[in-house]
Amino acid sequence: MNASRVILCINCGSSSLKFALYQLADDEQLVASGQVDRIGIPGTSIKVLDGSGAILREGPFELSRLDEIIGAIFAGLEQLHLPRPVAVGHRIVHGGPDHTAPELVTAEVLVALRKIVTFVPLHLPGAIAAIEAISARFPKLRQVVCFDTAFHRTLPEIAARFPMRHELWDLGVRRYGFHGLSYEYIVSALGTQSRGRVIVAHLGNGASLAAVRDGKSVDTTMGFTPTGGFMMGTRSGDLDPGLILYLLREKGYDAEHLDEAVNRAAGLLGVSGVSSDMRTLKESRDPRAELARQMFGYQLRKQIGAMAAALEGIDTLVFTGGIGEHDAELRWEVCRGLRHLGIEIDSQRNAANEDPISSTGSECMVRVIPTNEDLVIVRHTRAVVGTAESAKGPL
C-alpha cells in the first residue's frame, strides 16, 4: 500500500457506532474519531474529535438508519476536509469456529457471518449491516473484518473445551474468548516483556482476563459468548447452569427474559440497582453500590489467581480498559490480595495511574497500559489489503 493511504476503522454495536480515521505515513497517525449513539431510537447523537481530541462536531443527529448514518459519516469527513479512506477495517466480535484471522470482505465471508449470528445476536447484525451499507454506497472500497476471537485461536483444547458431549464440540460449542484485539495490542506494547507469563485484565463495561504465555493466549475468562467470565457492567458472567434451568422451569422465563437477565440487568447494575458505571458507584452512598464494587474486585482477584494457575506462575500483570486504566482504588484492593503471587504495588504510582505501578521489590511487574483496538484493526487492514493488491493489483 502507498505509505500515505488512509484507513477507517468501524466498531458497530447494537445501537452505537464508533469510528476512527488513521493516516499511514511513517507511522499510524490518528486523524479523527467519533461515535454515533442511540441508533434507531429517539435521541440519536454524534460526536467527532480531531486527532488531538478537540471536538469537531457534537450534538443531536437527525438520521437514525444505519445506511444513512454511514453515508453521513463519509460526507462529514469530506466537509471537515479530512482525507477519504481507501479501505475500511471492521471489529467483528465473533468469528465462530472457522474465522481465525483477518479477512478481506467477500460475498462468501458475509454469508459465513450471517450463519454465526446466533452465536452473538446482539453484536453481529449491526456489524454486517455496516459492511453492507458501505458496500452499497462504495462498491469498490475494500473492507476487512478483524475478529475479536482470533487472538484466542491458540487456546489448547484442554482450555477450549466445555465438559459436554463431543457432538457439541463438533458443532462449534467451545470457549472462544473475546477482547482479542485489545489483548493483541497489549502484547505488541509489551514487546519482549510478553515472552514470559502475562495476565492481562481488560476491564471496561465488558471485562475479561487472558493468560498469555510468550505472546500467545493459553486461557481466558470469557467463553462461548461475551456474557461468560466474571461480573461486568450489565452482564452476569458465569452462572450455575442449574440456575438457568430453575428460571426456565419455575419462574417462566423464556429466551428473551433470560437474555435481559444475564446481559442487560445483571453485573454491577443488577447488584447495585444504581448504575453499571464504576465511577458512579464509587460516588454513591447506597450500600449496594459499594457491595457491587467489592464483588467485582473479589471476582477479579479470584480469576487472576486462576489464570496464574494456568500459567504456573506470573511475571507480569497488566491492567487496561477504562476501569483498568483509571480506577486506582480497585487496582489497589485487587493487588492487595495477591501478595502470595509476588505482587506488590507502589501506592503513589498507582494513585497517579503511572506505569508501572509495581514497587521496586515486587517479584511481578504490574503495569497500566491504555489499549488501542483501532490501531490493531488499522494494521490488520493495511496488511490484508496490501496482500490483496500484491496478488491482484490495485483497484
Residue 44: its pLDDT value, please? 87
Q: Look at the block and give the residue holding cell 458501505.
A: 134
Q: Say if CB 368 and CB 354 are below 8 A apart.
A: yes
What is the band of 2 on the pLDDT scale with cuts at 50, 70, 90?
very low
What pTM was estimated for this model as a whole?
0.94
- C-alpha–C-alpha distance, residues 117 and 128, integer Å: 9
Pairing mode, strands 45-50 and 365-368? unpaired
Of 148, 219, 327, 374, catalytic? 148
- C-alpha–C-alpha distance, residues 251 and 245, integer Å: 10
Q: Is the pLDDT of residue 1 over 60?
A: no
How far is Cα of residue 5 from the mean position of the Cα atoms in its chain? 26
Q: Say if CB 212 and CB 198 are below 8 A apart.
A: yes
Long-range contacts of 280-283 (CB under 8 A, 24+ apart): 282/327, 282/329
Share of the chain above pLDDT 90, in %: 83
CB-count exposure of residue 283 (10 Å: 0-12, 13-18, 19+): exposed
Longest dimension (CA), the chain: 63
Give yes or no: 67 in active site.
Answer: no
**Amino acid at position 293, single letter:** R
Compute how many other C-beta atoms are within 10 angstroms of the C-beta atom of residue 20: 24
What is the band of 100 on the pLDDT scale with cuts at 50, 70, 90?
very high
- C-alpha–C-alpha distance, residues 252 and 159, integer Å: 34
Residue 24 phi, psi dihedral angles, 5° rounding:
-105, 105
The DSSP secondary structure of 182-238, one letter per residue, reads HHHHHHHHHGGGGGSEEEEEEESSSEEEEEEETTEEEEES--SSTT-SS--SS---S
Question: pLDDT tens digits for 245-289?
Answer: 999 999 999 999 999 999 999 999 999 999 999 999 999 999 999
Instruction: Report which of 152, 170, 168 is spatially closest to residue 160, judged by C-alpha positions.
Output: 152
Non-local CB neighbours of 99 within 8 Å, separated by 6+ positions:
92, 112, 145, 147, 149, 150
Higher pLDDT among residues 68 and 337, named by residue: 337
Residue 391: its pLDDT value, please? 62
- C-alpha–C-alpha distance, residues 307 and 162, integer Å: 17
Question: pLDDT tens digits for 144-198?
Answer: 999 999 999 999 999 999 999 999 999 999 999 999 999 999 999 999 999 999 9
Question: pLDDT tens digits for 332-345?
Answer: 999 999 999 999 99
